[in-house]
Amino acid sequence: MRSRSHLLNDRTAEHYRRSLTEGIGRVAEKIAGTEHPFTGITPSQLAPAVTGIDLEEPLGDPAAALDELEDIYLRDAVYFHHPRYLAHLNCPVVIPAVLGEAVISAVNSSMDTWDQSAGGTLVERHLIAWTAERIGLGTAADGIFTSGGTQSNLQALLLAREEACRLAQKNSAKPLRKPEILPRLRVLTSECSHFSIEKAATLLGLGAEAVVSMPCDDDRRMRPSALAAELERCEREDLVVMAVVATAGTTDFGSIDPLPDIAELCERAGTWMHVDAAYGCGLLVSRRRHLLDGIERADSVTVDYHKSFFQPVSSSAVLVRDQAALRHVTYHADYLNPRRMAENAIPNQVDKSIQTTRRFDALKLWLTLRIMGAAGVGELFDEVVDRASEAWQLLRDDPRFEVVTRPQLSTLVFRYLPPQPASGTLADEVNLHARQALFASGEAVVASTVVDGRHYLKFTLLNPETSIDDIAAVLDLVAEHAGRRLTARQGGLDSRRPGTDPEPVHPRAS
C-alpha cells in the first residue's frame, strides 16, 4: 500500500500537490539565490557523493530526497539563468513553458497516437502549422516535434535520402537497387555547419566521404560559387547530391548562409534544400525576420525552440514543404496505428515521426504563445542580438582581444592577444587556460572553439539579463587569467591594462 501512495491518481492528488510545491519551493529558492553560474566543483570532487548513494535503500520521504539532491545536483548545477553563463546554446527558460512542463509530466500524454493524446495531437499540429506559416513553406507543409536539432536534422536528411533514391530509380534506364545508389549520395554543407549533419549521414548508411564541406567567406557563410562548382562536379562524376544543408545560425558564429542564392542553386539542380535553423529560428518572431529571407524556399527546416524561443529542453521540430515526404517514416503496426486508422483520418502523429512514445513538448510552446505571445519571445531574442552587437564593439575597441566576425545573431568568437609577440602555441595555451580557470572559479562560464587551427574563446548570448557590464567584467576576468598565465610563462609583466596585472583584479561591478 505504501508504494501505491506514490502513484499519481484521484486519491493522491493532495500528496502530488504537496510534493511538487515543496520541490518547486526549493528550486525557486535556488534560482533566486544563485550568485555564480557554477561552483567550480570537479568531477572527482562530486563523484563520490553520487556513487556513494545506495540505490537499494530508498529514503521514502520527498523532503529527505530533496535534501540529498541539494548535495549531489542542485548546489553544483550549471545555471543558465545566471547572467554570466555565456557558454553554449542554452537559454534561460520562460515561466509559461515551465508551467507547461509541469502539466506535461503529470498528464503524461504520449504523442504517438490519437488514443494516447487526443487534444495534444491537435495542439501539436496547430503549432506546426503556425511555424510553417511563419517560415512561409506554403499550404502543403507539415512537420513534427522532435527531441532536438540533431534528431530534426536526421529526420530531414532521411526524407531527403529517400526522395533522392526514389528519383534516381525513376530516372534510371536500368533497374537500380538502393544499395547501388547509397555510395553515390552526397550532402553538401558549409565547413561551419553542425556536426549532427555528419552523424546523420553515418546513421543513414552513407560513407564517410558523403558529407562534402563547402568553404565559407570571411563572415563564415557558405560561398555560393563553391556550392555551384561542387554541384557541377557531382553531376559530372555521376554523384547524386541528395541534399544541400544551409545553416541559418552556425553554432560558432551565428552566421546565416546566403539562403536565396543557395535556394536558387538547389532549384536549378533539382536538389533538396534543408535549412538548419536550430539556432536562428528565433528570427521567425523577431524584428530581424528578414535575415531568414530565402528560408521559405527550403524543402525542410530544423527549428530548435529550446535555443532561441526560451523553451526548456527538449523542444524542437522538423518542417517539410511537402507533407507527402513524411510518408517515408510511416509504418503501420496492428498493435498501434493500423492502416485503417489512417484511412479513417484518425490523426496519429507516429505516422510522421521517427520516435514512437513521445513527450508532449509542444505544450510548452503553446502556453508560451498563449501567455506572452510570439512578439514577446521575439523581443527577448532581439535583446540578446542587440547585446551581441554592443559586445562586438567592446571587443573590437579593446586592444587585449581580437574578435573574429561581427555577429548576425548572438555569438562572439574572440581571443586574448598576448601584448608582446608570443608563439601561436603560447597564445592558444593562455586562452585555454583562461577558459578553464574561469570555469574552475565558477564566476562565469565561457566556451571555446578552434578557428583556422587556433584556439579561441566564445560567448553565446541567450540571456537578456546579461548586461554589457557583465560582458565587460567577464572580459576583465579572461584577461586577468590569461595575463597571469602569460606572465608565469614569460617571466614578465603585461602592463597594458590593469586587468592583466599578475595580482588578482576585481571585475568591474555590474
For binding to ligand PLP (CB under 6 A), which residues are involved?
A: 89, 148-150, 153, 194, 196, 247, 249, 251, 276, 278-279, 304, 316
Q: Cβ of residue 194: shortest distance to ligand PLP, in angstroms?
A: 4
The β-bridge partners of 240 are: 185
Q: Nearest approach, Cβ of 142 to ligand PLP (angstroms)?
A: 21
From the CB of 318, what's the least distance to ligand PLP, in Å? 11
Q: How far is the CB of 192 from ligand PLP (least distance, A)?
A: 9
Q: Which is nearer to ligand PLP, 92 or 483 (CB)?
A: 92
How distant is the alpha carbon of residue 309 from its chain centre?
11
**Rounded least distance, CB 128 to ligand PLP, Å:** 17
Q: Rounded to the nearest whole angstrom, what is the least distance from the CB of residue 409 to ligand PLP in the complex?
A: 10
Identify the CA nearest to 27 among candidates 107, 85, 101, 83. Answer: 101
Contacts of 15 (CB under 8 A, 6+ apart): 5, 6
CB of 361 to ligand PLP, least distance (A): 12
Rg (CA), the chain: 25
The C-alpha atoms of residue 18 and residue 199 are separated, in whole angstroms, by 44
Nearer to ligand PLP, 246 or 486 (CB): 246
131-141 burial string, b = 16+ CB within 10 Å, else e? bbebbbbeeeb
- Cβ nearer to ligand PLP, comparing 143 with 507: 143
89 vs 325, which CB is nearer to ligand PLP?
A: 89
Which is closer to ligand PLP, CB of 269 or CB of 404?
Answer: 404
User: What is the layout of strands, in order, in the sheet containing 454-460?
Assistant: 401-403, 411-416, 454-460, 447-451
Q: Which is nearer to ligand PLP, 247 or 271 (by Cβ)? A: 247
Which triple of cell numbers denotes residue 340?
485503417
Number of H helices, E strands in the chain: 17, 11
Q: Of 510, 461, 473, 509, give the one whose Cα is nearest residue 92.
A: 461
Q: How far is Cα 270 from Cα 49, in angstroms, rounded to an integer?
A: 57
- Compare residues 149 and 282 and give the one whose CB is closer to ligand PLP: 149
Alpha-carbon gap, residue 339 to 345, rounded angstroms: 10
Q: Which residue is nearest to ligand PLP (CB)?
A: 149
| Measured distance CA(491)–CA(145) in Å, rounded | 56
